[in-house]
Structure 1
């Protein structure tokens, strides 16, 4: 049983004891984790899950997910996950279905009904109507002997012995188990379709997630100036190039126009303590050879990872092996990738 808050701390206006709260929270998480493991173990006991995945892969229509109460919220999340991973899906509330929403289901569709008990009144009304439509029905249930399970084409069993709620009433463990099984279904479909990060990016163009998946280095570096000096450039020219282009660095190119190295403002500061005759210094004398680079076609998120791993703030950008500019940490900050 979950730990309970002592009565002397549960009076009106009294704050619960921190130790009790943590014990309750840990107990809930352990019970829900155990339930998810039980769902994973139950998959081996029936071929229906694999058959359900295969049926959806061959589907010409959409997956319609329905439920009532808390199961409806889980259904909505599963629909969102399916849509974002390449499986067209719709949400239909089980109560609204019998008041007109049933019209959204087409003959080529596939229905998943979520219900812990599988015996709720709304589900019992809905199932015969779905059977008349002739669409395949998968029952995502805790009770494999329920009315819904018996009437379904496929049974997706999410066994739950008790809720994490101390009264065994509030849907907690059961909704977690149903959600996890829905995620497993979506990922199986994703991998079966060989759905790639590029596919994912096309469906997620907005926000930081979208930018991480589609924004390329060249999209940012082409907006910057391209500080560069020849290898025999005097120190004054190097200073003017770095300060004028405002990227904190300049590329150094050899006589053939190939990248010979990089000079950063940090290199310049360190140089002051290493050389006594600054007038004779050339770019080649103070450059850092073989600087960190990244291609214009790489993702901007990869540029961030390389900067973080090397503890630097800019990367030299190349295109077809040639110097093409710089990408700076500030570019990534501006796009919200940091």
Structure 2
């Protein structure tokens, strides 16, 4: 039997079922969601997320999303909890329990300890009358009519619903806290956003063997110095006082106008007002300026004194 087009049809069916499921869960949102957000905002410690199986995998992602968006959070495996990991849960922690049925044995066993520990409990289940839902302070309903699985058995729509509920919670908390890009960057220093918002120009500029050249140098000396520097440019002057900048583009344009290299002077091709940024400028601002000016290189130093400490090029970062 030919499968031409069948796989795509299956994929579309899954997408449609899960989209419809999310719409169903969105319609179930009520004042409980507001209460959960307020509870977490007023909390004095962390959010502990717990679940097992597929719900556990979703729980790990929710904990990670919360932690990276301004809400301290961790994941607690229900099985490991009874072998010492309950010590991770402080009395001020708020605990999210994820179980679609609301009757998962390993999660249920946590409740007596958590209640004794006076933790606030938030349940993600598809059954408001389930044991976990009834024993929690707040319940977020993630009920779906159908799993996308053709057997209606494998958690598919239900896990997507739990995941999106966690995302909705994280985003609501972000907005309530006025969480900004620079806050996000602090938790992601290794990512591109963290680099742009936390790293300064002086941290990435090149400082060794900068290609300085005297303004009276010959065309041949210019070409040799540009090749030696491997930056596609030369800096006319010295570190204490620069006269200007010549890029390989400036050089090519000068040659088009005057092919006679014997008569070409550095003054003929030099940009005598290059952009100089202070080294304490952040990469984000520097790169935006370079994009706006359609340049790939900036000099780093004192704009007023025209002293140079280094060179930063956008394609090096």
Please classify the TM superposition score into its range, dividing by the shorter chain length: 0.7 to 0.9
Q: 1:109 aligns with which of 75, 90, 93?
A: 93
Structure 2 residue aligned with 1:78: 62
Once residues 107 and 215 of structure 1 are traced to their aligned partners in structure 2, the CA distance between those partners, rounded to angstroms, is 38
**How many residues get paired?**
313
State the alpha-carbon separation in 1 of the partners of residues 277 and 61 from structure 2. Answer: 38
CA contact (8 A) 2:277 2:302 kept: no
Distance 2:310 2:49 in 1: 50
Q: What is the RMSD computed on CA atoms of the aligned residues?
A: 3.3
Please state how far the C-alpha of 1:298 moved relative to its aligned partner.
4.5
| Aligned mates of 1:249, 1:305 — CA distance in 2 | 21
| TM-score between the two structures when normalised by the length of structure 2 | 0.82
Question: Partners of 1:19 and 1:297 in 2: how far apart?
Answer: 57
Partner of 1:285: 268
| 8 Å CA contact retained: 1:64, 1:91 | yes
For 2:262, what is the secondary structure of its paired residue? helix
Cα distance, 1:20 vs structure 2? 0.9
Instruction: Work out whether residues 301 and 310 of structure 2, in 8 Å CA contact, stay in contact via their aligned partners in 1.
Output: no
Shift of 1:242: 1.6
Is the deviation greater in 107-116 or in 24-33? 24-33
Partner of 1:315: 297
Shift of 1:288: 4.6
Counterpart secondary structure, 1:263: strand
Give the one of 175, 178, 185 matched to 1:191: 175
Q: Which residue of 1 is the match for residue 14 of structure 2?
A: 28
What pairs with 1:1-338 in structure 2 (closer than 5 Å)?
8=1, 17-43=3-29, 46-98=30-82, 100-206=84-190, 210-229=194-213, 234-252=218-236, 257=241, 260=244, 262-288=245-271, 296-300=279-283, 314-321=296-303, 322=306, 323-328=308-313, 331-332=316-317
Q: 1:289 and 1:35 mapped to 2: Cα distance? A: 63
Gaps of 5+ in 2: none
* CA deviations over 1:215-263 (Å, ceiling 9, x no partner): 3332121444433446665534433432232211124469x94665x32
| Distance change (3 Å), C-alpha of 1:294 and 1:23 | farther
Query: Secondary structure, in 3 states, of the residue corresponding to 2:257?
Result: coil
